[in-house]
Chains A and B, each alone.
Chain A
């Protein structure tokens, strides 16, 4: 009987804990590498309370590269209308690490690119497959996630970004 009480109490406590947690998930503070190998904590990613878009991709993932190509074409417009900042996080391992910067520059992508070499950020954000894109609001809370890419999906993402800037 005693054990049952403890078990139920634990259940209730943890469920109340789940209630007590912040309503939305926040960006975890994890170390990733810049394309020059500089260790960067994600807590330093900052857009002065404007929306942040984090897109997980890999050099070998065609839909990911298409999504980022599509975003790079409209990035200037997006920035002007909403002030959004895009961070593209590559999950490439050491086989492809040295190829990331040449690919990014060869395609003239205008946003910041990082390499999650050890997979720590990917695991902390529960990314199963790429592409996986997250939209953060001014409080660095995840308000929208999307886990695949078909041409036209970036319009849906833009609608979500605009929603954030209009709610204010």
Chain B
């Protein structure tokens, strides 16, 4: 008996090995296997002077491993995530290990089906946007079925149904929705010569959650729909999207039965050397989650883009804006201009100028003392200032090897509302930044940044300096210091000194850092997470294959 079993075993092995060659000979495009990996780990040292949180585990880490398989028709993917335990500043409900994402899909003849976890967006995301952002610790994927179909050129249809991811489990709601988009100039041969191109679309999303509340009669099915239009003609572009959500009492809006509305409008003009864009938005009671009682950055269904600039310089990012789903109205204007070389302001090599202006206020509300909560006039702007920013950035090549960036920012920030911490009032801050890049020779370069933020309230003024040296294409080393010299509390006038070094080979990256990290807030797109103060070693490993 044993003898036969071993023969069968060997035969199976031989067949499977040979079948690999047969399959290859029959079908040369058997498919690609690819993937990526990232590990972020930190070793925490106690540091009472910066009020760092105690970390009994000493070492914390977040990591993921993604594997993808793709052929011309089929695709499949799986992602394993590990939080042992999650880094400080990330939602601590991310705990343990597990498969966070897996899917199967196929696409053929204009039809695409996905079963499992997927990310999808309708229009600008006012009704639905599921996406993931590892630096924020954000992942609200839907697990279910999604179908995309294009019945003819210029018409795109989508439908989906699923449950939403909540850490390694699911939220209680069931989400379903559909979207259509029509590109008018693609519909018919005759229309393709139209100078003005129109794209129109609409979506509908509904969520079901059982009502277990003993006091309120809560709506179990809550729907939101939106319509959008984009017009492009030559150098001009104009677009808008309007969304409406039916009554959706939830923790975020204090269980009122008011409907929600959102409007996004943007216009732009651009040609060689010049780009101008203007946007406006209004949000009124537009928090839309698949669990009415959830809080934090979980189970959100829609995406309310922040109408502010995404700053990258450290001190310019000190007070970042977070979207206010309950109500806000804002305006934003941006100019991108290349001042010609040889002109008065341009210098001998020309100067790149970026100017950004944004302003956000509350919406005007009149309390109704009923279950509807309040009434808000659509065109009226609220009196509370939330945010104002003027940001000017100029870049100039001083010589073949020297490049200079200068930036000035004026900021008005309503910390009470935006960060939800009462008692700070409205903060005024002015920030000046200078960055110089020096290309020493084709492979060696150095850059240095000097930043200063002047403010009276909160922690007072800060100064920051950074020096970074890199050897292309593999190595870099940098040191920087954030100095809170202006703090009203003398014992808090501290230096937050940090050093890091990294090595990159093609798509493998490893970096090690050591030092003090100041408390801050990391915001991406209007969704934020708090980064607490810490002291210790940081390691980041990232790879894709």
Determine if chain A interacts with chain B: yes
Report if A1 contacts B (CB, 8 A).
Answer: yes
Residues of A close to B159: CB separation below 8 A: none
Known: A93-B303, A106-B338, A147-B506. A21 touches B310 (CB 8 A): no
Which of A13, A59, A102, A145: most chain B CB closer than 10 A? A102
Cβ-neighbour of B507 out of A37, A62, A117, A145 (below 8 A): A145
Tell me, in angstroms, the Cα distance from A9 to B18 when the chains sit together. Answer: 12
Residues of A close to B23: CB separation below 8 A: 17, 20
Give the interface SS of chain B, mostly helix, strand, loop or mixed: strand
Q: Mark B56-88, 1 if CB is under 8 A from A, else 0.
A: 000000000010101010010100000000000
Which of A98, A117, A119: most chain B CB closer than 10 A? A98
Is B34 a contact partner of A150 (Cβ separation < 8 A)? no
Is A17 a contact partner of B270 (Cβ separation < 8 A)? no
Which residues of A in the span 131-168 have a Cβ within 8 Å of any Cβ on B? 132, 144-148, 150-153, 155-156
Closest Cβ of chain B to A38, distance in Å, is: 7
Residues of A close to B542: CB separation below 8 A: 128-129, 147
Report if B410 contacts A (CB, 8 A).
Answer: no
Chain B interfacial residues counted at CB < 8 A: 94
Is A101 a contact partner of B506 (Cβ separation < 8 A)? no
Report if A79 contacts B (CB, 8 A).
Answer: no
Which of A62, A93, A132: most chain B CB closer than 10 A? A93
Report if B545 contacts A (CB, 8 A).
Answer: yes
The residue of chain B having its C-beta at the shortest distance from the C-beta of A2 within the complex is B5
Which of B13, B16, B266: most chain A CB closer than 10 A? B16
The residue of chain A having its C-beta at the shortest distance from the C-beta of B37 within the complex is A128
The residue of chain A having its C-beta at the shortest distance from the C-beta of B323 within the complex is A95
Cβ-neighbour of B544 out of A17, A29, A94, A128 (below 8 A): A128
Report if B277 contacts A (CB, 8 A).
Answer: yes
Report if A48 contacts B (CB, 8 A).
Answer: no
Which residues of B in the span 138-156 have a Cβ within 8 Å of any Cβ on A? 156
| A interface, CB within 8 angstroms of B | 1, 5, 8-9, 12-13, 16-22, 25-26, 28-29, 36-39, 59-62, 93-99, 101-108, 117-120, 123-129, 132, 144-148, 150-153, 155-156
Q: A5-B8, A129-B542, A147-B544 are in contact. List 15 more A-B contacts (CB 8 A).
A: A5-B9, A8-B9, A9-B16, A16-B21, A17-B20, A20-B23, A39-B156, A60-B312, A95-B306, A97-B124, A105-B274, A119-B119, A132-B544, A145-B507, A146-B504
